[in-house]
Amino acid sequence: MAILRFEDGTTYTNLEDISKTLAPLNVALNYWTVGNNRETRNLLNKAALSDEEKETVLQALDGYFEEMKQKEGYQARDLIVLHPNIPNLDAMLSKFERCHTHADDEVRYIVDGEGVFGFVLKDKTQVELTIGPEEYINVPANTEHWFHLTEKKRIKAVRYFITTEGWIPEYTETVVRFPQGVMS
């Protein structure tokens, strides 16, 4: 369940309230089911996945990808699987914990675990959005944001790309005012 937290501690859990707050940034948040396929569910319960297992999960969810290819021109997708036992996980994630933008939309469909996206609103206040299983987010190109994992440090997310270069962070001077790891 998505949770939007403001700097003053106010939280929203209603998707409509969250969407209304993020609307000026054109951030899209939605709920997409992973379905009831037993094999897919079993794979999502595993901490780590082989490349073959990742592809099995991706193929099970490719209905969403096909729709995005046709409607919005997406070209590629992958499944990122992060968990506490990955060597140098903190170093890998640190490049996204600073405020940045991307030239391409950042699109993720969380299928297991959870992550936190932070945003700078138009009035320069900041919010953090924790999203979890079966939640989809599209952070439009050039939207000032940051990302980190919750204290569980576990996530499986399908990432969708318009270009095959992926997301290259372009750092801004904005200082993130939220302490890391508060939303768990």
The stretch 24-51 carries a mean pLDDT of 95
Number of domains the chain contains? 1
In this prediction, residue 53 has a pLDDT band, given cuts at 50, 70 and 90, of very high
Res 182 pLDDT > 60: no
Tokens of 90: 């903190």
Question: Residue 166: its pLDDT value, please?
Answer: 66
First to last CA, the chain: 12
Res 26 pLDDT > 60: yes
Q: Is residue 177 a part of any domain in this protein?
A: no
pLDDT tens digits, residue range 168-177? 889 999 999 9
Binding-site residue positions for Ni(2+): 100, 102, 106, 145
Q: Is residue 119 a part of any domain in this protein?
A: yes
Binding-site residue positions for Fe(2+): 100, 102, 106, 145
- pLDDT above 70 as % of the chain: 95
Long-range contacts of 163-168 (CB under 8 A, 24+ apart): 163/75, 163/104, 164/75, 164/76, 165/104, 166/104, 167/102, 167/104, 167/106, 168/102, 168/103
Q: Is residue 96 a part of any domain in this protein?
A: yes
pLDDT tens digits, residue range 56-112? 999 999 999 999 999 988 999 999 999 999 999 989 888 889 999 998 899 999 999
- pLDDT above 90 as % of the chain: 83
Q: Is residue 181 a part of any domain in this protein?
A: no
Which residues constitute the domain of residue 99? Answer: 3-171
Q: Is residue 184 a part of any domain in this protein?
A: no
Read off the CATH number of the domain in which 103 is found: 2.60.120.10
Q: Is residue 179 a part of any domain in this protein?
A: no
DSSP state string for 86-107? STTHHHHHHTTSS-EE-SS-EE
Binding-site residue positions: 100, 102, 106, 145
Res 135 pLDDT > 80: yes
Q: Is residue 183 a part of any domain in this protein?
A: no
